[in-house]
Structure 1
Amino acid sequence: MSLIRPFTGLRPVPERAADVAAPPYDVLNTAEARERVVGKPLSFLHISKPEIDLPEGTDPFDASVYAKGAENLQRLISDGVLIRDDSPCYYLYQLEMDGHIQTGLVAAASVEAYDENRIRKHEFTRPEKEDDRVRQVDALNAQTGPVFLVHKYQAEVETMVREATAGEPLYNLTADDGIRHTLWVMDDAAKTARLTELFDAMPCIYVADGHHRSAAASRVCASRKTDNSNHSGEESYNYFLTVIFPDNEMQILDYNRVVADMNGLDRETFLSKAAESFTVTAETGQVKPGKPQEFGMYLQEQWYRLTINSDLVPANDPVGQLDVSLLQNNLIEPLLGISDPRRDKRIDFVGGIRGMDGLEKRVDSGEMTLAFSLFATGMADLMAVADANEVMPPKSTWFEPKLADGLVSHVLD
C-alpha cells in the first residue's frame, strides 16, 4: 500500500471557493462560528460546525448535529457549489501569512502507514474528541478537515512542487484574517506517479496538527474493514485527507502559559524559589525569548527574564529537553503546584499569534496572576520526539498559518 495516493477531490467550483472556505472547525467556538456565517450561506462552517444551524443551546455532540452537517454537505453538492473531480489528482496548497509562504501537497495518506507508525505522532488524543470526529466522518461519508503532515525536505519533491505552482491556480483567495490560500491541481498521471514514488521512498512522515482527525480515520477504517466482507485495501476508507509540507517551510509559533495564582506564595518568596533553578532578571520591557532555555515571566506589571540553570537540562531526553518541559518540571509543578496541565483549570495556554500583549491582557485584567512566554518548539524537536515514540507535553506547538476547511474534501466511496 502506497504511503500516499492521489484522489478525486470534492471541492468548490472556482467562483464559489472564497464563499466556501472557512477556518478549521476547532479554532472557533460555536458562538464565534455563528457570527462568522452571518450573510455566508455557503460557508463550510455549516458543515464542520453544523450546530450553528440548530437552536442555541443544542449539544454540539447530539446526533441531530451530525445529521445537519450531512444535510448541509448534500445541499452544496446538489446546488452545484461543490463538485467532484473526474480522475484522481494531487493538489498543491500554498499558504501565505505576513510574508511567510509554505506549499504542501494535498494527498490521501495511508491509514495502514499511520497504524504502523510510519506516519508518526507526538501527542496523546482524547477519546471524546476522537469520538466526535468518527461520528462526523461517518455522517458525512467524507473527510473534510485535512490532517497537517510534515516530511523531511526532499529536493525532487521541491522541484516538482515549484514547477506545478508556476502555472495558473485553481483558487487564489484571501480569507478574512488576511491569510492567502492558493490551490493548484496536478492531474498529469506521470507526475502524480512520480510524486507517489518519491513519498514511498521516505522512511516516515509526521503529524504536525490533526491527531484526533488521523486517529478517527484509523477507527473508521477498522470499522468499515470489519463490516466489508470484500475488503481489498484499495477502498477510500483506507486513506485519509492530508496536506503534507516540507519541514524547512514550517512556521511554529510559541505556545505560552498563564496561571491563575501563585499557589499561596507571596511575590518575594516565589521569586526567591524561582531563583533556585533559574537566573531571574527584571526587565524594563516585554520579554519574548530569543533562544531555547530562556523564558519571559510577567507578574504584577513587571517582566522578568528567566534562564534555566544548565545542570537542570537533561541529556539524551527529547521530551525533557523541550522548553515546555523545562518550565513545567522546574517551576510550574514544584512552585505552582500544577502537576497535570492537561486538566488543571488553574493554567491556560495562549498561542503566540496573540503576542506578548495577549499575555499582559490576561494578567492585567485580574483573570490571571502571572504569565510565561516561551521560545517556540522547533520542527527538529517535534520529529525527535516522534522518532523516539514519545509524546510531547500538552500545548507544545502552535502552527501558523492554519489550513482552511472546505477547499478539498476526501469522499469515502
Structure 2
Amino acid sequence: MAKIIPFKAVRPTRDKVSLLAARSYDSYTPEQVESRLRDNPFSFLHIVNPGYKYKKEISGEERYSLVRNRYQEFKEDEIFTQDEKPSFYIYKIVNRDGLEFNGIVAAASAQDYENDVIKKHEDTLEYKEVIFENYLKTVGFNAEPVLLTYPDNDELATIIETVMHDRAEYEFTTTYRDTHYLWKVDDETTINTIQSIYEGMETLYIADGHHRSASSCLLAKHLKAENENHTGKEAYNYFMSYLIPESDLKIYEFNRLVKGLNGLSKEEFLIQLDTVFRIENRNQEYYKPLRKHHFSMYLDGEFYSLSLRKNSYTISNALDGLDAQILYKTILKPILGIEDLRNDTRIEYSHGKNDLAYVQTMVDKGDFTVGFGLLAVTTQEMKQIADEGLKMPPKSTYIEPKLRSGVTIYEF
C-alpha cells in the first residue's frame, strides 16, 4: 500500500510564476545563470544562489543559511504564498517536442521508501545524501519534486482529465518552449478517492530523483530520533513527489564518450572488441542501434556497429541484460580500464536528446577518442531491475518530464 498525502504548498503568485520557475541549477551554464540573476529579480535562482547579492561565491552551511534567508524574503514580499488547505496538485507539461505529461504533485512517505514500497533502480552516493540532508535540514523546504511512476490507472486518469477541464491556476511557457499547467485539488472527496487509489498500489517506482528521495528519508530518520514527541504525522515524514503513469514516462539513453584507448592502438582495440562483438565498419554512415545488445561506436572518423556475440556473455539477472551494464563489463572495464564509472575522468556522458551527432562532434574535435551509442532503457527494464533489488550503472537513463523548481514548495 502506497501512502500519498496532500499538503499545503507554498507557491508563487499567478503573475510571477513564469518569472520564478527555474530549471535545476546545474542545467544552466555560468553565463545563463549570470543573465537570469542580473535581469530577473524574481528567479528562483536568487534563492539557491544567495551569494549573488554580495558578488561572492558562498558554500556549505553559510550558503544554506542564506538560502533560507532569501526564501523567507520571497515569502515576506508575498512573491510566495501558502495554500490554506492541504491539496493535491494536478500538473501538466507539454514540451517543445509535443510530448504531454500529466501527473499529481503530492507528498510521498519516507517510510514507504524505507520499506521498499517505493523502489529504486539507481545507486546513490553516501556523501551526496549527507550533503543534501544537511541542506534540507537548514533551509526547511524542498522545491523540486522526486519523479515517481505507477502502473497506468483508468480511475486516476479520469480524475486528472476531469480536473483539467477547469481553468488552470497556472499556465506559462518557458524559454525552452515547454508549457506548464497546474490545478489545485482541495475537495476532500476527490482527495480521499485519490489516496485510496494509491493505497491499492503495492509499488511505486522512482524514475528520477534518487539522491533527493534518499536524503529526504535520511533527514526523516534523524529528525524522528531527535523528536521525543514523534507521531509519524510530521511533515518531515514525507517528501514532495510528482507521480505520473508509466505510459507518460519518456526515457532517453545516455551515450558514452571516452578519452584514450588505455594504451592500445586502434587495431589492437578492435581486435579485443572482436572477441565479444561482431563488428561492422559503417564508414561515414550515421548508425544508431535499433535493438538490445547492439551498440554504435564512433572511432577515428568512422561509425561501427557492434552486436554482442551470443556465446561470449552470460545474462543471469535483469542487470546483466542491461546494455549499459554490458558495455561496462565487456568494454569499458576490461579493455579501456574504466572501473569507477562515477569518478573516472576519462569517461563522460551525453544524454540521447543530444543524439550521436554530438558524440561524433566531440570525437572529431579531439576532446574524446571513442564514443558509444546505446539503445534507451525501457520502463519494464527499469522496473525489473528495481524489483530484483539491483542498481543500474550511473547515467543509464535520462528521463522526462523535467519539472521546474519553485512552482510548488514543500515545507517541513
Is 2:395 the partner of 1:395? yes
Of 203-212 and 133-142, the range deviating more from structure 2 = 133-142
Q: Counterparts of 1:206 and 1:155 in 2: how far apart (Å)? A: 18
Residue 50 of structure 1, CA deviation? 3.4
Question: For residues 224 and 330 of structure 1, do their structure 2 counterparts lie closer, same or farther at Cα, with a shift above 3 Å needed?
Answer: same
The 5-angstrom pairing of residues 299-338 of structure 1 reads 299-312=299-312, 314-338=314-338
1:87 equivalent in structure 2: 85
Residue 209 of structure 1, CA deviation? 1.1
Amino acid at match of 1:81: I
Of 342-351 and 19-28, the range deviating more from structure 2 = 19-28
Amino acid at match of 1:6: P
Of 374-383 and 42-51, the range deviating more from structure 2 = 42-51
The 5-angstrom pairing of residues 238-387 of structure 1 reads 238-283=237-282, 284-312=284-312, 314-387=314-387
Q: Counterparts of 1:19 and 1:115 in 2: how far apart (Å)? A: 37
Secondary structure of the 1:371 match is strand
Residue 46 of structure 1, CA deviation? 1.9
Amino acid at match of 1:127: E
Preserved CA contact (<8 Å) 2:2 2:202: no
Q: Counterparts of 2:314 and 2:35 in 1: how far apart (Å)? A: 47
Number of equivalenced pairs: 410
Secondary structure of the 1:135 match is helix
Secondary structure of the 1:37 match is helix
Preserved CA contact (<8 Å) 2:2 2:117: no
Q: Counterparts of 1:269 and 1:386 in 2: how far apart (Å)? A: 38
2:184 equivalent in structure 1: 185
Amino acid at match of 1:3: K
Is 2:46 the partner of 1:46? yes
Residue 63 of structure 1, CA deviation? 1.7
Q: Counterparts of 2:322 and 2:251 in 1: how far apart (Å)? A: 14
Amino acid at match of 2:342: R
Q: Counterparts of 1:54 and 1:383 in 2: how far apart (Å)? A: 46
Residue 312 of structure 1, CA deviation? 4.0
The 5-angstrom pairing of residues 87-106 of structure 1 reads 87-97=85-95, 98-106=97-105
Any idea what the Cα deviations from partners look like across 1:162-187, whole Å, max 9, x if unmatched? 11122211111111222222111111
**TM-score (structure 2 length as normaliser):** 0.95
2:70 equivalent in structure 1: 72
Any idea what the Cα deviations from partners look like across 1:52-77, whole Å, max 9, x if unmatched? 44544x353x2221111111111111
Q: Counterparts of 1:53 and 1:318 in 2: how far apart (Å)? A: 49
Residue 41 of structure 1, CA deviation? 1.3
Q: Counterparts of 2:168 and 2:114 in 1: how far apart (Å)? A: 34
Amino acid at match of 1:258: L
Residue 291 of structure 1, CA deviation? 1.8
Identity, % of aligned positions: 31
Q: Counterparts of 1:330 and 1:104 in 2: how far apart (Å)? A: 39
Any idea what the Cα deviations from partners look like across 1:64-101, whole Å, max 9, x if unmatched? 21111111111111111111000010001112220111
Q: Counterparts of 2:53 and 2:116 in 1: how far apart (Å)? A: 38
Of 125-134 and 376-385, the range deviating more from structure 2 = 125-134
Amino acid at match of 1:99: G
Residue 315 of structure 1, CA deviation? 3.7
Amino acid at match of 2:346: R
Question: For residues 216 and 356 of structure 1, do their structure 2 counterparts lie closer, same or farther at Cα, with a shift above 3 Å needed?
Answer: same
Preserved CA contact (<8 Å) 1:150 1:205: yes
Is 2:70 the partner of 1:34? no
Preserved CA contact (<8 Å) 1:30 1:51: no
Residue 276 of structure 1, CA deviation? 1.7
Preserved CA contact (<8 Å) 1:260 1:346: yes
Any idea what the Cα deviations from partners look like across 1:312-360, whole Å, max 9, x if unmatched? 4544411110000111111111211112212211111111121212112
Residue 126 of structure 1, CA deviation? 1.5
Question: For residues 113 and 29 of structure 1, do their structure 2 counterparts lie closer, same or farther at Cα, with a shift above 3 Å needed?
Answer: farther
The 5-angstrom pairing of residues 121-140 of structure 1 reads 121-140=120-139
Secondary structure of the 2:358 match is helix
Preserved CA contact (<8 Å) 1:173 1:182: yes
Of 307-316 and 388-397, the range deviating more from structure 2 = 307-316
Structure 2: gaps spanning 5 or more residues = none
Amino acid at match of 2:310: S
Q: What is the alpha-carbon root mean square deviation over aligned residues?
A: 1.7
Preserved CA contact (<8 Å) 1:30 1:49: no
Preserved CA contact (<8 Å) 1:313 1:321: no
Secondary structure of the 1:14 match is coil
Preserved CA contact (<8 Å) 2:276 2:313: no
Q: Counterparts of 1:228 and 1:9 in 2: how far apart (Å)? A: 24
Any idea what the Cα deviations from partners look like across 1:358-402, whole Å, max 9, x if unmatched? 112221121110101110111111111111111111111101231
Residue 31 of structure 1, CA deviation? 5.9
